[in-house]
Structure 1
Amino acid sequence: MSYIDSYYARTVADQRKRSALEETHTAEICIIGAGYAGLTTALELAKGGKSVVLLEAEQIGWGASGRNGGFVSPGYAVGEAQIAKKLGKQDAQRLHKMSIEGMELVRNNIEQYEITSAKPVSGITGVTRYDSGDDLKIAAAESLRDYNYPLEFLDRDDVQARLMSSCYHQGLRDQNAFHIHPLNYARGLANAVEAHEGVIFENSAALRVEKLATQMVVHTANGKIKAEKVVVTTGGYTGSLLPKLKRAFLPIATYVLITEEAPDLLAQVIKTTDAIGDDRRAADYYRLVDDGKRLMWGGRITTIPAKPADVATILRKEMVGTYPELASLKVELAWSGLMAYARHQMPQIGKLSEQIWYCTAFGGHGLNTTAIGGKVAAEALLDQTDRYELFAPFGLAWTGGPVGKAVAQMTYWGLQAMDWWKERG
């Protein structure tokens, strides 16, 4: 299957196709799913001397890894205070440091493997839709104190000098964070895996995992992989291969649009190359692409994917509501993709048995967590560290099936209502 029609698919630099699996192959480790987590795990294992085969049901980065906003910054979808309630302050801080490490791993991969088509652009600014200046100053001070990680506080005048929107109050600018072309990064990672003698098969969905006395066998339509261990790194498009894993997260749809070219108009209202995200629970995120010629705008989530035309209408309304000057700007294309969300909203990294590992549920976290997730999974498989165990307390909690989907959607609608009320307060 080809990539869905998105801005990233239209501008992907490497269009090489890889063959489907046929016959029987052997490897020390078989990885299922060639998104960021699977590619990073494969790369770290191959660098560590393991023989690796990576199976992808469609094409490299076909799912959320090739359709997302491209933000690379520290942190998780859940705030540090909430993580600390479950793990304690020390382990919560260890996890945050790992998220910074994940961001740097993405940067280093781009540099080391010369993935120039990822086109990294420095700077991500988070802005507030209501007066939060004191809270942001505290957050910046704590980031510097606890992690030696600087964040630049922007008062309302600073924000208004960059973003011509009356919706915004203050902001925090992260000069170390960056944004990229996510599909090009995924395909660059695939090339790096192969450069380290890893093997990748596309259009090779894993249909069954069989445990034999001394090895695992992963079956596809036309072949099989015999391996010592299997790592499942699928996300929102996970099938019924491992029911226990599938039950542990929800496939949640998110949406993105790209506008027509309008560099002069866009330059009047967005005077920064930073990627932007707001602080609402139902947040918008956006960034200029094509050297400022187009605006990419993302946001909204649903438990049932909407049609592209409906996506464009919803997101365009948000865009124009934020920047009325863009009312004449047309939408060229809109698309959606499924992310994997656990009930506790943290990544899921661990093992079902000594032979079957998982590294998934990265929805809402950004690229940094897929990188550190893949790295710590590989470290465990290489017998180097047990850092993956920091994620163990979150576990594979059942999401509630169809009822869980309905609850998730109602929760999101409730958060939107809370945002609306707070902005008008």
Structure 2
Amino acid sequence: MTNTPHAPSYYAGSANPSPARPALQGEIETDICVIGAGYTGLSTALHLAENGFKVAILEAAKVGWGASGRNGGQIVNSYSRDIDAIEKQTNKRNAELMAHMAFEGGRIIRERIAKYDIQCDLKDGGVFAAFNEKQMGHLRAQKALWEKHGHTQLEMLDHAGIRKVVKTERYVGGMLDMSGGHIHPLNLALGEAAAFESLGGVIYEQSPATRIERGASPVVHTEQGRVRCKFIVVAGNAYLGNLLPELAAKAMPCGTQVLTTEPLDPELAAELLPQDYCVEDCNYLLDYYRLTSDKRMIYGGGVVYGARDPEDIERIIRPKMLKTFPMLKDVKVDYTWTGNFLLTLSRLPQVGRIGDNIYYSQGCSGHGVTYTHVAGRVLAEALRGQAERFDAFASLPHFPFPGGRLFRVPFTALGAFYYDLRDKLNI
């Protein structure tokens, strides 16, 4: 029988207490079966439970085991490709709906934290840091685009301005988004799971879905049980495997690496990030970092296409951190880990329905903390018969990778090499 613990991350080491949840044994019946207890699954299930649906979640490992409990913990608005890219791929009405939803995820997260008293170290404020004037131009254009769609909590930072929020000489400027911020991501997932259970929802851990029996009354099979239901929501993202082959062909798991230092001297922590904002840079293969509630530096970056686990994460990430903060050269690293996100060719999420009763959302492409919370609300709306926003997402084309699954890793790595080279050469 499966028994998969959380990855050995700082988040798992500092997680709030959480009850032991049984594996599914035998047969149950429910209105809706959700596959995956990450943010997409939890958000969907919680919205549905709030509206009176009977919902069961099947989780292959533990709540928040995947990207939802391992990510950088940053609340970042919009999608991995911005609103202007979406406007080129769908009609005006759908683009308007998606533009409005681009800033909804952070609000949902804050609503959940407040309503259910979730203790997850919420801090407001996120910074996009630019290495050169070309990137500053992109940020100015992004600010104008977001403000056009009603998002106004933005401030451009010149060189002196960004030095006040980040103690490094690497950046020429940046943009501050006060509706951004950061959280302890695993504790957010655990809090959302507890909220769902408080409304009568049931979560089965260590219960990977092994097969879906399609039809008018679908059945989801696990190693020791099965769920009969009216609808299925597939929310496995990078850890779905080949459960639904038609989804696996259109996205690729990718790994990102993170380290966490020992607790810093409080004066040093305050010097590095005086306002306690989170930061991500503007490179294609970007770095991201922030302080934890106990003043550790969390620093992440790098992408491994095909989701292979590197042997020495510290060797990959520590030089990046020291390039930004040379004053951390003698600081000990307490945790390193890797986790997978799901990349699509368009870098836009894939939302849709298979047949009449299998709904899915996947492919956050590294931008999932806020998007998944929107997706959960949208999927729940569709299951309640309000499909306008769901249809807007579903209108986006779902491109397969050229050459199929065999060539998607080298193809994507080649593209990333090209954009990384452009970042380095400032072209």
Q: TM-score range by the shorter chain?
A: over 0.9
| 1:232-263 Cα distance to aligned partner (Å, 9 max, x none) | 11011112211111112100101111012222
SS of equivalent residue, structure 2 residue 22: coil
1:105 correspondence with 2:111: no
Q: SS at the partner of 1:328? A: coil
For residues 5 and 325 of structure 1, do their structure 2 counterparts lie closer, same or farther at Cα, with a shift above 3 Å needed? same
Q: Distance in 1 between matches of 2:6 and 2:136?
A: 42
Superposed CA deviations along residues 390-420 of structure 1, whole A, max 9, x for unmatched, are 1123344323202011111122122221111
Counterpart CA distance in 2 for 1:135 and 1:37 is 30
Pick closer, same or farther for the CA change 1:249–1:133 going to 2, 3 Å. closer
**Aligned amino acid, residue 418 of structure 1:** R
Q: How far is the alpha carbon of 1:266 from its aligned partner?
A: 3.3
Report if the CA contact (8 A) 1:235-1:340 is conserved. yes
Moved more, 9-18 or 307-316: 307-316
Identical-pair percentage: 34
Q: Distance in 2 between matches of 1:395 and 1:23?
A: 39
Please say if 1:406 is aligned against 2:417: no
For 2:386, the equivalent position in structure 1 comes to 384
Give distance in 1, aligned partners of 2:128 and 2:94: 25
Residue in structure 2 matched with residue 72 of structure 1 by the alignment = 75
Distance 1:331 1:344, change over 3 A: same
Q: Secondary structure at the match of 2:89?
A: helix
Q: Does 1:371 align with 2:385?
A: no
State the AA in 1 paired with 2:406.
Answer: P
Superposed CA offset, 1:324-376 (max 9, x none) = 22222222221101111111111111101102111121231131100111111
How does 1:119-138 map onto structure 2 within 5 Å?
119-131=121-133, 132-138=135-141
Partner of 1:284: 287
Unaligned runs of 5+ in 2: none
- 1:137 shift after superposition: 3.9
Q: Retained in 1: the 8 A contact 2:100–2:149? A: no
Aligned match of 2:192 in 189, 192, 195?
189
2:326 maps to amino acid: P
User: CA contact under 8 A between 1:143 and 1:150: conserved in structure 2?
Assistant: no
Q: Quick check: 2:126–2:176 contact (8 Å CA) kept in 1?
A: yes
- Cα 1:148–1:207 change in 2 (3 A) is closer
Deviation at 1:178, TM superposition (A): 1.7
- Counterpart of 1:358 (choices 349, 357, 360) is 360
Instruction: Give the match for residue 228 of structure 2.
Output: 226
How do 1:250-269 and structure 2 match up within 5 A? 250-263=252-265, 264-269=267-272
Does the CA contact (< 8 Å) of 1:123 and 1:174 recur in 2? yes
With over 3 angstroms needed to count, the CA separation of the structure-2 counterparts of 1:26 and 1:251, relative to structure 1, is same
Contact in 2 for aligned 1:305/1:336 (Cα 8 Å): no
Q: Secondary structure at the match of 1:87?
A: coil
Letter in 2 for 1:130: N
Map 1:5-404; keep pairs closer than 5 Å: 5-88=8-91, 91-116=94-119, 118-131=120-133, 132-212=135-215, 214-263=216-265, 264-291=267-294, 293-305=295-307, 307=309, 310-399=312-401, 400-404=404-408
1:319 alignment partner, SS class: helix
Query: Whole-Å Cα distance in 1 between the matches of residues 87 and 253 of structure 2?
Result: 26
- Whether the 8 Å CA contact 2:33–2:231 is kept in 1: the answer is yes
The alpha-carbon deviation at position 109 of structure 1 amounts to 0.5
**Structure-2 separation of matches of 1:28 and 1:356:** 12
Residues 383 and 91 of structure 1, relative CA distance in 2, 3 Å threshold: closer
SS at match of 2:30: strand
- Matches of 1:269 and 1:148, distance apart in 2: 28
1:89 Cα offset (Å): 5.4
Superposed displacement of residue 14, structure 1: 2.3
Amino acid at match of 1:408: T
Pick closer, same or farther for the CA change 1:236–1:307 going to 2, 3 Å.
closer
Q: Which amino acid aligns with 1:340?
A: L
- Aligned residue pairs, count: 420
- Name the CA distance, whole Å, in 2 between partners of 1:185 and 1:148: 24
CA distance change for structure 1 residues 304 and 392 in 2, over 3 Å: closer, same or farther?
closer
CA contact (8 A) 2:284 2:423 kept: yes
Instruction: Return the match for 1:415 from 401, 413, 419.
Output: 419
Q: C-alpha displacement at 1:163, in angstroms?
A: 1.6
Q: Which moved more, 1:249-258 or 1:304-313?
A: 304-313
Distance 1:47 1:258 in 2: 36
Going from structure 1 to structure 2, the CA distance change for 1:269 and 1:191 (only over 3 Å counts) comes to: closer
CA RMSD of aligned residues (A): 1.7
* TM-score, normalised via structure 2 length: 0.94
- With normalisation by structure 1, the TM-score equals 0.94
Instruction: Show structure 1 runs of 5+ residues with no match.
Output: none
CA distance 1:25–1:52, change in 2 (3 Å): same
Q: How far apart, CA to CA, are the structure 1 residues paired with 2:198 and 2:397?
A: 34
* 1:83 Cα deviation after fit: 1.6
- Contact 1:235–1:361 at 8 Å: present in 2 too? yes
